[in-house]
């Protein structure tokens, strides 16, 4: 991948919309995409963080547009995409990355913990994909990458809501890949394992050590590891891949 990146810009003059791009994995994807020639639209709840992503994108001489948006609300998503189109006229790539956790064992999990996680992680993906796929269908091209999780494949005690949302993303990815394939649109999912970000920083040392023991490559992943895979799936290098779930987890869930 490094040689590919060195030889040519993989996303020259493409426009990518990244949800939850204010920090963590989403920010890393924004920056690596900008380095590869893409202009970037960030949709995130958190304005302070988005500005920093913008600065990093613009450092690569690409345009950045930050939009404050709650992806769980369809009307906010529609307004955000209208703003993106006013500025860039098209969206070539959608990265459905925003996600949250509200962990608890089933008996202690509240209805609100369940609803919120499903609303952001799963309905948010539906909202953004529904609106943007309409544009991609007209363009007869597009790349959609959904960030799932290995938890959606293997489950995890204390994360029934999160696991259900991430498993839901996998079923959604495969269905939409079938719906959109004939129009030149690729839809794939990435299932990361344990990646060092704000989301995982809050886990206790005990849980971190337990997880490390389960990873054959014996280290946690980085945001750059995930961003490089997203770059490949968003580029023409992956034109013959659709409906796939690619695990990036150091071998944890093989
Ligand atoms: P993070 O918590 O560092 O960043 C998530 C971003 O999403 C934040 O900027 C937040 O403001 C934004 N966001 C949250 N709710 C939103 C909403 N309703 N509308 C718009 N934006 C919203 O998370 P991280 O670690 O970068 O995770 C990114 C994605 O990767 C998530 O979908 C997560 O489930 C997934 N993932 C992360 C793993 C990890 O180990 N960090 C492992 C597997 C999957």
Neighbours of 107 (CB within 10 A): 5
Domain that holds residue 138: 4-247
CA-nearest residue, atom 8 of ligand 1: 20
Residue 162 among the catalytic residues? yes
Phi, psi (rounded to 5 degrees) for 69 = -160, 135
Q: Answer whether residue 253 is part of any domain.
A: no
CA-nearest residue, atom 6 of ligand 1: 20
When divided into structural domains, the chain yields a total of 1
Atom of ligand 1 nearest to the CA of 23: 9
Q: Answer whether residue 254 is part of any domain.
A: no
pTM for the full model? 0.97
Cα(251)–Cα(166) distance, rounded to whole angstroms?
19
Residue 8: CATH number of its domain: 3.40.50.720
251 φ/ψ sector (left φ>0, alpha ψ -120 to 50, else beta): left
CA-nearest residue, atom 27 of ligand 1: 25
Rounded mean pLDDT, 31-36: 98
User: In 89-181, which residue ranges form alpha helices assigned H by DSSP?
Assistant: 111-118, 124-139, 151-154, 160-180
Q: Answer whether residue 252 is part of any domain.
A: no
> 101-138 pLDDT, tens per residue?
999 999 999 999 999 999 999 999 999 999 999 999 99
> 199-230 pLDDT, tens per residue?
888 888 998 999 899 999 999 999 999 999 99
Catalytic residue (one of 33, 162, 172, 194) = 162
Distance 127 CA to ligand 1 centre (A): 16
Q: Answer whether residue 108 is part of any domain.
A: yes
CB of 152 shorter than 6 A to ligand 1: no
């Amino acid at each position: 991948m490094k040689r590919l990146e060195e030889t040519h810009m993989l996303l020259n003059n493409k426009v990518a919309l990244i949800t939850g791009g204010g920090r963590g994995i989403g920010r890393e994807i924004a920056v690596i995409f900008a380095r590869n020639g893409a202009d970037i639209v960030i949709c995130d709840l958190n304005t302070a963080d988005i500005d920093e992503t913008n600065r990093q994108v613009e450092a690569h001489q690409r345009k950045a547009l930050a939009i404050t948006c709650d992806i769980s609300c369809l009307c906010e998503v529609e307004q955000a995409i209208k703003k993106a189109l006013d500025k860039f006229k098209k969206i070539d790539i959608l990265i459905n990355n925003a996600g949250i956790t509200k962990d608890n064992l089933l008996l202690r999990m509240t209805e609100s913990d369940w609803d919120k996680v499903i609303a952001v992680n799963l309905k948010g993906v539906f909202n953004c994909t529904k609106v943007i796929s309409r544009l991609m269908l007209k363009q007869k091209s597009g790349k959609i990458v959904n960030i799932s999780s290995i938890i959606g494949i293997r489950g995890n005690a204390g994360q029934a809501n999160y696991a259900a949302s991430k498993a839901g993303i996998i079923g959604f990815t495969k269905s939409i890949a079938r719906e959109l394939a004939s129009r030149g649109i690729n839809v794939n999912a990435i299932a990361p394992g344990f990646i060092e970000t704000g989301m995982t920083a809050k886990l206790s040392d005990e849980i971190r050590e337990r997880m490390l023991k389960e990873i054959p490559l014996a280290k946690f992943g980085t945001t750059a590891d995930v961003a490089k895979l997203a770059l490949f799936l968003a580029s023409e290098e992956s034109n013959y891949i659709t409906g796939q779930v690619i695990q990036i987890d150091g071998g944890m869930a093989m």
